[in-house]
């Protein structure tokens, strides 16, 4: 499943989600098939208001988010799309951002919080070496994928991230650069923070 968040970054607090979009993909018989999608605005807490800089980046305004569901409701709905015990991977561009947002909201999306991630940046660096950088816009240009007019909205970014991911996997198939899922995880995998072992205290009192 390809995932993207938009967020605010309040001083003294971790980033707070204000929009989420997810696109579920299944690969079979040599082709990708979309099997579901979800998108929701999210009302941020009072300590994380939408700033003018956030609005300039993605167009989201405080008025748009005033009646959106809060994080516990929006993320619980998303979490229900995952079947407990089924195997998933989350795909994101610069997956550390999504990993941190999910971890800090893990009480609202416990199933999602335990799904490991694939980051398209190290995957692209491995499969398409030599680019000036590996920003999403750079990869869109490289693969001749049109830049959406509403770039930086979650639903638009998840759509083009999915296209980049599919192009990368197709390139890997053609070149034999990846043999299996284990190879993909080795190159671009990121363990969900909720799955990482908890560091024990050096001394127990």
Domain count of the chain? Answer: 1
What pLDDT score does 64 carry? 96
On the 0-12 / 13-18 / 19+ scale of CB atoms within 10 A, 126 is: middle
Residue ranges of the chain with per-residue pLDDT less than 50: 202-205
What pLDDT score does 175 carry? 78
What pLDDT score does 83 carry? 84
DSSP 22: E
What pLDDT score does 204 carry? 47
Domain with 133, as residue range(s), is 2-195
What pLDDT score does 63 carry? 97
pTM above 0.85, yes or no: yes
Q: Is 205 part of any domain? A: no
Q: Is 201 part of any domain? A: no
CATH of the domain at 43: 3.30.420.10
| Helix (H) or strand (E) segment spanning residue 31 | strand 31-41
Q: Is 204 part of any domain? A: no
């Amino acid at each position: 499943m390809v995932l993207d968040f938009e967020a605010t970054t309040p001083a003294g607090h971790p980033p707070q989600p204000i929009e989420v979009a997810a696109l579920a993909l299944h690969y079979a018989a040599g082709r990708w098939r979309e099997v579901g999608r979800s998108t929701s605005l999210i009302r941020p807490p009072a300590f994380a208001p939408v700033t003018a800089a956030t609005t300039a980046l993605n167009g989201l305004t405080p008025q748009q988010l005033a009646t959106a569901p809060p994080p516990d409701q929006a993320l619980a709905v998303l979490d229900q799309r995952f079947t407990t015990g089924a195997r998933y991977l989350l795909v994101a561009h610069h997956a550390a951002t999504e990993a941190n947002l999910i971890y800090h909201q893990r009480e609202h999306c416990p199933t999602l919080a335990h799904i490991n991630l694939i980051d398209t940046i190290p995957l692209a660096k491995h499969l398409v070496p030599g680019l000036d950088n590996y920003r999403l816009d750079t990869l869109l240009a490289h693969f001749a994928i049109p830049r959406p007019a509403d770039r930086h909205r979650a639903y638009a970014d998840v759509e083009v991230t999915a296209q980049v991911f599919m192009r990368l996997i197709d390139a890997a198939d053609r070149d034999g650069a990846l043999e299996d899922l284990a190879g993909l995880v080795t190159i671009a995998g990121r363990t969900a923070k909720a799955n990482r072992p908890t560091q024990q205290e050096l001394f127990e009192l």
